[in-house]
Amino acid sequence: MPGLIPENILDDILSRIDIVELISSYIPLKRTGRNFKACCPFHHEKTPSFIVSPDRQIYNCFGCGESGNAFKFLMRYEQMDFPEAVEVLARKAGVILPQKVAEDNKTQGIITQIYRINELTAEFYTFNFESKEGVKAKDYLLGRGISPETIKALKLGFALDKWDSLINHLRAKGFNLALLEKAGLIVSRDGGGYYDRFRNRIVFPIFDVKGRVLGFGCRVLDNSLPKYINSPETLVYTKGRNLYGLNLAKEAIRDNDFVVVVEGYMDFLLPFQEGLKPIVASQGTALTSEQVRFLKRYTNNVIMVYDSDIAGELATLRSLDIFIEEEVNVRIVSLPKGFDPDSFVRKQGIGEFRKEIENALDLFDYKLKVLKSRYDIKDTTNKAKVCGLMLETINKLKNAILKAEYLKKLSLQLGVKEEALLDEAKRVKPARFGQGHKESDKKKPLSISPTEKLLMSLMLEENSLINRIRESLSPQDFVDERICRIVSVMFNLVEQGKEVKPQTLMNHLEDEVSSLICEPEFLPEGLSLEHKERMADDCLKRIKNEGRRVKRERLHEEIKAAQYAGDEKRLNSLMEEFHLLIKKG
């Protein structure tokens, strides 16, 4: 269960919220029969495949597979975490949430104050532009082609070349030094006292998608080092979790179904100003899994733009494999030598920059190009080295067809037999290639038994069937692990005397399990309870027969193994079990 909110409170909120009304306040819905349809807000599509069910109070997209209840929709669309979504819907439903424990209240109070401090700090730095000392910072940005409108939109500022200007400003607002230190804005002196962390630097406030200031990135006005310093990690700011500019770019990313990722703050400013709106900056570091997953909320297509100085580093190549692991399409732009995105747009123009983006290479072509520039593949040892490095990436692909195509492509490009590459790939990483699977993969069949899925759907439609099934089957009788988990929760809820509804059941399940509830098993309308009971009994019979068949096969194999091992005692026990099973039919 997410968070510390009691189940009955969550169920009460969902019972008072109409998911059709909620979703229609964000996107236009059109009625089609019993359901409502729209173009999916979570991926780009022209033909509507996003279905909202008023009966089940859930949504499901047949295009991208996104599904959930009212909480999940709000979390995905507004990028909220679970407690925030609960709080919003509780207010909407008129449900009063219980107070959290005192410690949580204290932490939440500190977080609220840090957000307020950050907001006031950003305003202070922005105001400094107009001071005598700040004119040099403003002129610096204007001289680099950054317009006053962009400066205002991004709330850029300047930290004065003084040790305590921010301290004095915030203390006058009533904030104590301990809180300012928690916000990462001041640093303690060895001999006692504090001083401002940021001094004589241009300030880039870092916003979350809701427009709240999380922290700050700061740049020098000359060539002194370090060129950039960022806020330390605080209760509201975690490095590697946020992306600079996403608060302004998110809608453009969703509309265009791609995002351009550059490295630094300055690399973001000019392209964004010149009209390239689906762009974010990674704040000078390689993207983390969390940042990639965050981008997946808006698009599955990422274009990485690198300076030529670092684009060929093998460490950079390895960091790109994260996109394969997260199943995100990635293409790479390596700018001409001596250029970064900022200087390229200033000297070549945004049109040429867009051409570079349009001509971006996919990960396979880019990596092979870099490796061939590093290693002379006429040398057999070097060719083997390049093959090994390419296979590291290919092995991480989860799609067997893509693997096969890239192996064929690698074979043609390097003049190596495809069979040899396949053998090498299996030898290097057998668990990630070919027929090898992880243990967890073996437990989940590729396709779900239609009988199991139909029975689950019947129980969801008619709660009275749950007890009927519970008397004859246990969750373990279901072959598919996900249905086993769903049925187990159903049985537990019924034992507690609770009603089982799709939208509330989802609160008790992991995402990959709960999504199965949203995949409809189409039942004819107007079926009587008697007819549904007959269908359930038929499913019950089939599942039992299938269970006995599987058990017979297992016993047969174990009997052969006992005979081969000469284990008479085990053989007799297994034979007795086998005959009992035969008698039961």
CATH code, domain with 176: 3.90.980.10
Supply the pLDDT for residue 244.
95
Is 398 strand, coil or helix?
coil
Q: Do the domain assignments include residue 238?
A: no
Residues 456 and 565 in one domain: yes
Separation in Å, CA 177 to CA 34, 113, 174, 193: 60, 13, 10, 9
- Both structure tokens of 342: 């900022």
20 is a domain residue: yes
pLDDT digits (tens, 9 = 90+) for 165-204: 999 999 999 999 999 999 999 999 888 889 999 999 999 9
Q: pTM for the full model? A: 0.61
Q: What is the pLDDT of residue 23?
A: 93
Residues 343 and 393 in one domain: no
| Residue 205 identity (one-letter amino acid) | P
Give me the pLDDT at residue 582, please: 67
Confidence at residue 273, expressed as pLDDT on a 0 to 100 scale: 97
- Separation between Cα atoms, residue 251 and residue 260, nearest integer Å: 13
Q: Which helix (H) or strand (E) holds 530?
A: helix 529-565
First-to-final CA distance of the chain: 41
Q: What is the CA radius of gyration of the chain?
A: 30
Which residues are CB-contacts of 60 (< 8 A; sequence separation ≥ 6)? 50, 51, 53, 66, 67, 515, 518, 519, 520
> Between the CA atoms of 311, 317, 320 and 321, what dihedral angle is there, to the nearest 10 degrees?
170
The predicted model gives 105-134 an average pLDDT of 88
Q: Tokens 């008397």 sit at which residue?
A: 471
In a domain, 577, yes or no: yes
Q: What's residue 444's pLDDT? A: 40
Per the CB < 8 A criterion, the answer to whether 332 and 303 are in contact is: yes
Last residue of a domain, one of 369, 391, 426: 369
Structure confidence at residue 585 as a pLDDT band (50, 70, 90): low
Residue 168 in any domain: the answer is yes
458 and 579 share a domain? Answer: yes
Query: From CA 82, how far away is CA 292, in angstroms rounded?
Result: 20
The CATH number of the domain where 542 resides is what?
1.10.860.10
Tell me, yes or no, whether 559 and 508 share the same domain.
yes
Non-local (6+) Cβ contacts of 207 within 8 A are 213, 214, 246, 247
Task: Give the model's pLDDT for residue 333.
Answer: 93
pLDDT tier for residue 35 given thresholds of 50, 70 and 90? confident
**What is the average pLDDT across 265-293?**
90
Domain boundary among 369, 385, 420: 369
Within 10 A of 267 (CB to CB), how many other CB atoms are there? Answer: 25
Beta strands in 255-385 (DSSP E): 259-262, 279-281, 301-306, 329-334, 361-362
pLDDT at 99: 59
pLDDT number for residue 446 = 41
Percent of the chain at pLDDT > 70 equals 89
One domain, residues 262 and 346: yes
**Dist. CA 256–CA 358, nearest whole Å:** 13
Question: Is 22 in contact with 74 (CB distance < 8 Å)?
Answer: yes
Average of pLDDT values for 299-316?
74
Q: How far apart are CA 215 and CA 205, in angstroms?
A: 6
Q: Which range (30-34, 268-272, 293-297, 431-435) has the least confidence?
A: 431-435
Q: Is residue 205 domain-shared with residue 317, that is, in the same domain?
A: no
Residue 237, domain member (yes or no): no
Backbone region of residue 65 per phi and psi (left: phi > 0; alpha: psi in -120 to 50; beta: other values): left
pLDDT at 104: 55
**Which of the 8 DSSP states describes residue 233?**
P
Whether residues 311 and 393 fall in one domain: no
Question: Is the separation of the CB atoms in 173 and 204 below 8 Å?
Answer: no
| Whether pLDDT at 447 is above 70 | no
Does residue 462 lie within any of the structural domains? yes
CATH of the domain at 286: 3.40.1360.10
The domain of 48 spans 7-93
Do 205 and 314 have their domain in common?
no
C-alpha 449/C-alpha 547 separation (Å) is: 12
Average predicted confidence (pLDDT) for the chain = 84
Top-confidence residue, 478 or 101: 478
* Amino acid making up residue 380: T
Same domain? For 70 and 17 the reply is yes
Query: Quick one: DSSP state of residue 62?
Result: T
* Burial class, 31, CB count within 10 angstroms (exposed 0-12 / middle 13-18 / buried 19+): exposed
Please enumerate in sequence order all residues whose Cβ is within 8 A of that of 503, keeping only pairs 6 or more positions apart, or say none. Answer: 14, 19, 56, 57, 58, 69, 70
- pLDDT range class, residue 522, cuts 50, 70, 90: low
Residue 141 and residue 29 share a domain: no
Closest CA to 257 of 105, 432, 522, 42: 42
Kindly indicate the confidence band of residue 207, based on its pLDDT and cuts at 50, 70 and 90: very high
Whether residue 217 has pLDDT greater than 90:
yes
- Counting the structural domains of the chain, the total is 5
Query: Cα–Cα distances in Å, from 516 out to 42, 326, 452?
Result: 18, 21, 12
Query: Are the C-beta atoms of residues 196 and 166 closer than 8 Å to each other?
Result: yes
- Asked, for residue 444, whether it belongs to a domain, the answer is no
How many angstroms separate the Cα of 304 from the Cα of each of 207, 277, 300, 338, 361? Answer: 21, 15, 13, 17, 10
**Secondary structure E strands in 231-300:** 259-262, 279-281
Q: Identify the domain boundary among 230, 256, 289.
A: 230
State the amino acid at position 309 in one-letter form: D
Cα distance between residue 490 and residue 500, in whole Å: 7
Q: Cα(378)–Cα(54) distance, rounded to whole angstroms?
A: 65
The pLDDT of residue 439: 37
Residue 415: Cβ-neighbour burial (10 angstroms; 0-12, 13-18, 19+)? exposed
* Residues 553 and 570 both lie in one domain: yes
Same domain, 256 and 350: yes
Q: Which of 100-109, 130-139, 276-285 has the lowest mean pLDDT?
A: 100-109
Copy the structure tokens of residue 487: 């049925």
Read off the pLDDT of residues 53-88 as tens digits, 9 standing for 90 and up.
888 889 988 888 888 899 999 988 887 888 888 888
Q: How many angstroms separate the CA atoms of 187 and 193, rounded?
A: 9
Q: Mutual orientation of helices 418-428 and 380-394 as an angle, nearest 10°?
A: 60
Average pLDDT value for residue range 323-336: 90
Is residue 241, in this structure, part of any structural domain at all?
no
Which helix H or strand E contains 351, and what residues bound it? helix 350-358
**Which position has the token pair 């006005």?**
221
Average pLDDT over residues 235-241: 86
**How far is C-alpha 360 from the chain's CA centre?**
24
Q: Which of 328-337, 392-401, 503-512, 513-522 has the highest mean pLDDT?
A: 328-337
